[in-house]
Amino acid sequence: MLTDDADIAAWSNQGLPSDRMSIENATILCNTERWPLIVDAQLQGIKWIKNKFGDNLKIIRLGQKGYLDVIELAVSNGDVLLIENIGESVEPVLDPLLGRNTIKKGKYIRIGDKEVEYHPNFRLILHTKYFNPHYKPEMQAQCTLINFLVTRDGLEDQLLAAVVAKERPDLEELKADLTKQQNNFKIVLKQLEDSLLARLSAASGNFLGDTALVENLEITKRTATEIEEKVREAKITEIKINEARENYRPASIRAALLYFILNDLNKINPIYQFSLKAFSVVFDVAIMRTEPADEVKQRVNNLIDEITYSVFMYTNRSLFEKDKLTFIAQVAFQILVMKKEINPVELDFLLRFPFKAGLGSPVDFLSNQAWGGIKALAEMDEFKNLDRDIEGSAKRWKKFVESEAPEKEKFPQEWKNKTGLQKLCMLRCLRADRMSYAVTSFVEEKMGTKYTEGRSVEFAVSYQESSSSTPVFFILSPGVDPLKDVEALGKKLGFTFDNGKFHNVSLGQGQEVVAEAALDKAAVEGHWVILQNIHLVAKWLSSLDKRVERYSIGSHEDYRVYMSAEPAPTPEGHIIPQGLLENAIKITNEPPTGMFANLHKALYLFNQDTLEMCSKESEFKVILFTLCYFHAVVAERRKFGAQGWNRSYPFNNGDLTISINVLYNYLEANNKVPWDDLRYLFGEIMYGGHITDDWDRKLCRTYLEEYVKAEMLEGEVYLAPGFPVPPNSDYKGYHLYIDEVLPAESPYLYGLHPNAEIGFLTITSEKLFRTILELQPKESSAAGAGGVSREEKVKAILDEILEKLPDSFNMVEIVAKAEEKTPFIIVVFQECERMNFLTQEISRSLKELNLGLKGELTITTDMEELGNALFLDTVPESWTKRAYPSLQGLGGWYADLLLRIKELETWTADFAMPPVVWLAGFFNPQSFLTAIMQTMARKNEWPLDKMCLAVEVTKKNREDMTTPPREGAYVHGLFMEGARWDTQSGVICDARLKELTPVMPVIFIKAIPVDRQDTKNVYECPVYKTRIRGPTYIWTFNLKTKEKPAKWVLAAVCLLLSI
């Protein structure tokens, strides 16, 4: 045995949590031969270590001033040394110490360039705050990794103690005294036993004659009996105390659940960090705030409500708008799972949506994918015959599915009596675009309206919660300045620039010294410090973290730190230290959404004086208003994702104000309005300066060509359907005009089709469920998948993929078989090679993971990520690197991969051109399109650089084609987004509502010399591989149109290879 009750009792008195995991960790730490490396983000283990070793413990952090000297002293004096907050790598100077590479017969060790005497009693303890650190193998060999992260049971017990200490201090005090007493008894008994055994082993001959020994035996016996009696009494008291304490357990269970949900939010965005310390403060305040009640049961219910709402408000203000629903939905689902009020299998269906691929929908109001979802759902007992009912009562279901807000309507037939979650599952199949609203209604129904109202917290309220040890951290968004609120409150409370109590440092090159001086002064004298844009000084952030932590203890009570930073665009780019984020009150400020708010906001940048400053007043006013509308459009169009802009751009207020200055200067300097110059300056320089994508530049240019033109002076220009350019007015009049005339928010205001909103809402709801699925606790996912453990599920998927994976293409055989190496055959070779590269990686990685799951190989990070991807139905990263862009889940992606392989197998069988080519089936579709040009250029002896592709959309489908064309190629499998192709009239026309990506008929592509190209009545339509657009661009197809091409540019019409 490595430990006994006496040791455990002593540790418990030193503040070690009493759960089994903590005791095991402490046992390992005290008995390990190697240096212990503690993974402890919540600092529970560290607190215990500091109490255990007391003043004998030397504590340092790597990189602090003179840390090597402290290490040398500790090594030579034989002290216990704790190195806090290490990263995933340690300075090489410590390598000899970690590996205990002693020299001179083990008496000395080299640290840096010095040889230090090595004391045999020296002990080293390392500590990291990372949740999931990855150390090099040699580091793992030199240290014993101990996971001190709090467990749910451990946290429940701690929080229970905190609740009872507040609610029934008498009970908790009694419990603490009892525990201490019991622990002391165990220690005394152990000491008595030890001394008795020592005496007995030392006694010689007739030990009955050894009076001292016999007396000692008597004393031991008497003490043991007394202690036993007291222990018996204490046990009875303890049972009574525990019964009374157990009444409060539901409150601690809820709080522990909430903490673990908060702890996982950093998976959404690494800037969402919350410490246990900060959580405990919120928890304590919530207990104080709870309404009193006579009944204990009622009081506990009040506690649960108040704790849940306080944690919700505390967290909600630090989340971006797009993540708020994810958080509260996760809270609602987890609470209901814990109360066993929902079926985990149904929740799993809602989050994963495992639809049956390859089915055709028998009803016109549901897509194939939606019908696949209904079929999968109908296999569950609760949803038996759902598919039959929909087919049988198609009319009633059609009315329900096509209603404006189906989540508010009653389901047809007896389906209206289903539970809230079951209705969500059905709606997920029928109307994916309404799921965000449906989940909001579900949360409202289960938890109350206060969780979905979207109240914002006044800054003054957040200030009340801050203190000298709790900084405030503003998470910035473009176009918002939260620091005005800080200045306003500072003025009110007497902290201003003028009286020197307010320091505002905008960080950048060389400002670190200024910031450090401000912090040093403020901590002593009780000032406020604002540190703006700390993300710009990456190298200084660790020093800032240490300084803020140092001053969080023992500083002036009026001292406050306010920091602001932009979140990193990707998780990999996140640089802000955990320490700065987790204890701070985080606040997000986002710009208003919607055209109405944005147009008012743009106009607020100016005033009546601005409108009157130009000599050409009427022209200036009308162009100014139009530019405000243009500014609102380009900023708000971002919400439509890739259909809005191919890439996201940081348009800001400065672009608009500088454009107005340019407008004023140009109008003053010219007799006539220089329309072309103005459009060029606004579209290519002021706003165009941000734009990096050619199609986005074209979009920006088209907006200005449509809005800013001479006709606007006659009032003949409509900025949106039903919204003409306003007549000449004053500043107030323009605001009034917006209030009265601007149509309701819709994609029409941006020149887009209403389908754009459906598409954007569908993607949003898919993201919502995908994120919640990733946040599910790992231990509960076992039950979620119908009683199958995570490993078993991964193994089943792995076996299925390997079983269906065809052999690689035999390249030697294929190359030998091809007689003539035409451009098309070269394309096929390249495709087969790339396919081999991908299938070999799939096979290798899965076989490796299989060995890992069997325990024959150590699980590496790559294997862990592959297993997670298989479990979450996403395509593993090592595969996507070698594959083609795709937005499908793993199931759909793999089915698609097998089809691509089949297509290549058909082509390589005899190398005859297929009658219709599946353009999306290529890794590199450009190479096939180029091959068409090369073949025709050789045949007709045309120069390749003076050629282009001519595209003709036929009236036929894939099945109608039996032979390939004499020249060029027929291609199929393209989809149009933003509009549809009218086969009868052979032109682009408006899309039908809810038909987001209609299929194109077969397209005939051939090459022609550039000078024969038809440019009249055509829309230059970009072709992309996926809905992400931007980087997946392939080619431009000229498609016939009767309407102005500008309409299709604004509607973001394009062709997609896969959806």
Percentages helix, strand, coil for the chain (3-state, rounded to 5) are 60, 10, 30
pLDDT band at 1038 (very low <50, low <70, confident <90, very high): very high
What digits encode the pLDDT tens for the residues 247-295? 889 999 999 999 999 988 988 999 999 988 889 889 999 998 888 888 8
DSSP labels for 976-1042? EESSEEETTTTEEEPPPTT--SPBP--EEEEEEEGGG---TTEEEEEEESSTT-GGGEEEEEEEE-S
pLDDT > 70? residue 327: yes
pLDDT higher than 60, residue 780: no
Distance CA 800, CA 318 (A): 43
Please count the other Cβ atoms lying within 10 Å of the Cβ belonging to residue 80. 18
Q: Which residue has the higher pLDDT, 454 or 563?
A: 563
Q: Which of 246, 80, 85, 222 is nearest to 163 (CA)?
A: 246
For the segment 351-364, the average pLDDT, to the nearest whole number, is: 84
For the cut 80, the answer to whether the pLDDT of residue 767 exceeds it is: yes
Integer Cα distance of 210 and 292 in angstroms:
66
Asked if residue 634 lies in contact with residue 719, where contact means CB atoms within 8 angstroms, the answer is no
What residues form DSSP beta bridges with 948? 1008
Return the number of other C-beta atoms located less than 10 Å from residue 481's C-beta.
13
Contact partners, residue 984, CB within 8 Å, separation at least 6: none
pLDDT per position as a tens digit, 707-753: 988 888 887 789 999 899 998 889 999 999 999 999 988 899 999 99
Secondary structure E strands in 299-406: none
100: left (phi over 0), alpha (psi -120 to 50) or beta: left
- Helix H, strand E, coil C: the string for 198-221 is HHHHHCCCCHHHCHHHHHHHHHHH
Tokens of 661: 């200055």
Q: Which amino acid is at 916?
A: V
For residue 469, the 8-state DSSP code is T
The whole-number pLDDT of residue 944 equals 85
Q: What is the pLDDT of residue 381?
A: 87
Q: Which pLDDT score, from 0 to 100, does residue 976 have?
A: 95
Integer Cα distance of 113 and 298 in angstroms: 68
pLDDT, tens digit, for every residue of 935-992?
998 888 888 888 899 999 999 888 888 888 888 999 999 999 999 999 989 999 999 8
Beta bridge partners of 1009: 947
Q: To the nearest 10°, the Cα dihedral for 245, 247, 252, 257?
A: 140
**Cβ atoms of 773 and 631 closer than 8 Å:** no
Please write the tens of the pLDDT for every residue from 868-882.
899 888 899 999 999
CA 371 to chain centre: 30
Q: Which range is least confidently modeled, 51-65, 333-347, 379-393, 492-506?
A: 51-65
What does 403-457 look like in DSSP terms, one character per residue?
Answer: SS-GGGSPPSGGGGGS-HHHHHHHHHHH-GGGHHHHHHHHHHHHH-GGGTS-PPP
Which of 62, 357, 6 has the alpha carbon at shortest distance from 188? 6
Strand order of the sheet with strand 975-977?
975-977, 1054-1056, 1018-1024, 1033-1040
Segment 948-963, tens digit of pLDDT: 999 999 998 888 888 8
CB 245 within 8 A of CB 296: no
Pair 142, 35: CB distance under 8 Å: yes
Residue 785 has pLDDT above 60, yes or no: no
- Angle made by CA atoms 516, 522, 528, in degrees to the nearest 5: 105
The values of phi and psi at residue 868, to 5°, are -60, -45
State the maximum Cα–Cα separation within the chain, in Å, rounded to a whole number.
Answer: 127
Q: Which residues, in sequence order, are CB contacts of 389 under 8 Å at separation 6+? A: 397, 412, 413, 415
Q: What is the 3-state secondary structure (H, E, C) of 639-696?
A: HHHHHCCCCCCCCCHHHHHHHHHHHHHHHHHCCCCCHHHHHHHHHHHHCHHHCCCHHH
3-class DSSP assignment, residue 79: coil
Question: Which range is least confidently modeled, 14-28, 662-676, 897-911, 990-1004?
Answer: 14-28
Whether 783 has a pLDDT exceeding 50, the answer reads no
Mean pLDDT over each residue of the chain, to the nearest integer:
87
Lowest mean pLDDT among 212-221, 438-447, 610-619, 959-968: 212-221
Q: Which amino acid is at 884?
A: Y
**Residue 925: what pLDDT?**
94
Over 90: is that where the pLDDT of 462 sits? no
Q: DSSP 3-state assignment of 151?
A: coil
Task: Give the model's pLDDT for residue 563.
Answer: 94
Q: Is 420 helix (H, G, I), strand (E, B) or coil?
A: helix
Q: How far is the C-alpha of 620 from the C-alpha of 663, rounded, in Å?
A: 7
- Which of the two residues, 484 and 846, has the higher pLDDT score? 846
Dihedral (CA of 451, 452, 453, 456) sign: positive
Q: What's at 444, amino acid-wise?
A: E
Which pLDDT score is estimated for 199?
A: 74
- How much is the pLDDT for 205? 65
The predicted-structure confidence for 195-254, as pLDDT tens digits, reads as follows 777 777 776 666 666 777 777 778 888 888 888 888 787 788 878 888 888 888 999 999
pLDDT of residue 927: 94
Helix (H) or strand (E) holding 336: helix 321-338
Q: How many CB atoms are located within 10 Å of the residue 949 CB?
A: 19
- pLDDT, residue 168, reads 81
Judge whether 720 and 729 are in contact, CB under 8 Å: no
Contact 42, 260 (CB under 8 A): no
pLDDT at 530: 93
779, pLDDT greater than 70: no
Instruction: Please check the confidence at residue 798 and state whether its pLDDT lies above 70.
Output: yes
pLDDT band at 154 (very low <50, low <70, confident <90, very high): confident
Percent of the chain whose pLDDT exceeds 90: 35
Is the model's pLDDT at 135 over the cut of 90? no
> What pLDDT score does 208 carry?
65
